[in-house]
Amino acid sequence: MQANNRYYETLYGAYGQYFTQDKLVFEQSTPQWQLTIFDNARFGRVMSLNGAIQTTERDEFIYHEMLTHVPILAHGAVQSVLIIGGGDGGMLREVVKHAQIRNITLVEIDAAVIEMCKTYFPQHSQGAFEDERVEVVIEDGMAFVQSCQQGFDVIISDCTDPVGPGEVLFSSDFYQACIACLNEEGIFVAQNGVPFMQPDEVPNTVRRMSPYVKECWFYMAAVPTYVGGSMAFAWATDNLSARQLDLASLMARYDAAGISTRYYTPAIHQASFALPGFVEQAVRSA
Ligand code: SAM
């Protein structure tokens, strides 16, 4: 919603944020979305889909680094990665930093998001769509995982909120299909909303995912754009040692990977699995 040169996010009824829309850069209705791109003095370029802020130039690194390097470094020998959603290319940029990864599949429902972001958010993908290890599939993520024959070491669900086309990516069937697509030591991660603002997401995920996997847990990071406190990331795996990795081993893996990051550090990685009491309670009582 727009008023007085301000873009009001319409995600939560009783509370919200606005950005001054210093310059409207692009607006389009795609088959799936009402897409708006504008510039803001504090957050840089901002993208919104159907009134919900998706990503901003200035703080996207926190979200993208935490959803990629945590599972990849916890696993330790990742060769194949599946990204569901992720049309802005930020996730891809972080995954391609890992030289040992052989193939990366990105499944995005809306080709227009990819094209718009290549044009208006070049800093997100930084050419990663052109990396020869990357295959882009334009398809519903649910349909892809349900018919997928290939196994992946890491699956990242970088989806919109659980309304509209993104809703299916929070379903029990989706989680079951993703877990079935994981290789033996594989790890699934997913954005799971801001628990203080979206208190149902964590317990719903636990109930829907737990039947299919040995470990369903969460880790967290505060991303300023996603208002209302820290965001939760779902973590699911049969690889029970991955979450327990000691700091020295994580540091050795980070150094060996030779990547540079702005938010992720091995210490942040380890600490992010410590949940605030109300979130841990939501997990354990689900
Ligand atoms: N970081 C953002 C957030 O949490 O607000 C989300 C990132 S945005 C790149 C999510 C992407 O998921 C969008 O490009 C959208 O088109 C895509 N998406 C939504 N539903 C999908 C589905 N069912 N299958 C594949 N991609 C989907």
For residue range 220-250, list pLDDT tens digits in order. 999 999 999 999 999 999 999 999 999 999 9
Number of C-beta neighbours around residue 84 at 10 A: 28
DSSP H helices, the chain, are 60-75, 90-95, 111-120, 122-125, 141-147, 172-180, 201-209, 247-257, 266-271, 277-284
> Which of 121, 159, 163, 201 maximizes ligand 1 atoms within 8 Å of its Cβ, making it the mutation to test the pocket?
159
The answer on pLDDT for 50 being more than 90 is: no
SS (H, E, C) 25-42: EEEEECCCCEEEEEEECC
Task: Kindly tell me the sign of the dihedral angle through the C-alpha atoms of 201, 81, 72, 237.
Answer: positive
Evaluate whether 48 touches 7 at the Cβ level (below 8 Å): yes
Q: Which residues pair with residue 267 across a beta bridge?
A: none
Residues classed as catalytic: 158
The pTM for the full model equals 0.95
CA distances (Å), origin 57, targets 94, 124, 142, 225: 15, 7, 28, 10
Residue 162 has pLDDT above 90, yes or no: no
Distance CA 149, CA 268 (A): 35
* pLDDT confidence bin for 160, thresholds 50/70/90: confident
Q: Tokens 């992946």 sit at which residue?
A: 152
What residue's CA is closest to ligand 1, atom 18?
85
| Mean pLDDT for the stretch of residues 54-70 | 97
Question: In the structure, which protein residues have their CB atom closer than 6 angstroms to any atom of ligand 1?
Answer: 32, 54-55, 63, 84-88, 107-110, 113, 140-142, 158-160, 165-166, 168-169, 191
φ and ψ of 157, to 5 deg? -95, 105
In terms of Cβ atoms closer than 10 Å to its own Cβ (0-12, 13-18, 19+), residue 39 is middle
Atom from ligand 1 closest to the CA of residue 60: 1
Confidence of residue 176 (pLDDT cuts 50, 70, 90): very high
**pLDDT tens by residue, 69-125:** 999 999 999 999 999 999 999 999 999 999 999 999 999 999 988 998 999 999 999
Q: Which of 50, 59, 109 to mutate to test the pocket of ligand 1 (most atoms within 8 A of CB)?
A: 109
Closest C-alpha to ligand 1, atom 19: 166
**32 confidence band (pLDDT: 50, 70, 90):** confident
Region of poorest pLDDT, from 28-42, 122-136, 194-208, 218-232: 28-42
Report the relative pairing of strands 134-138 and 103-108 from DSSP bridges: parallel
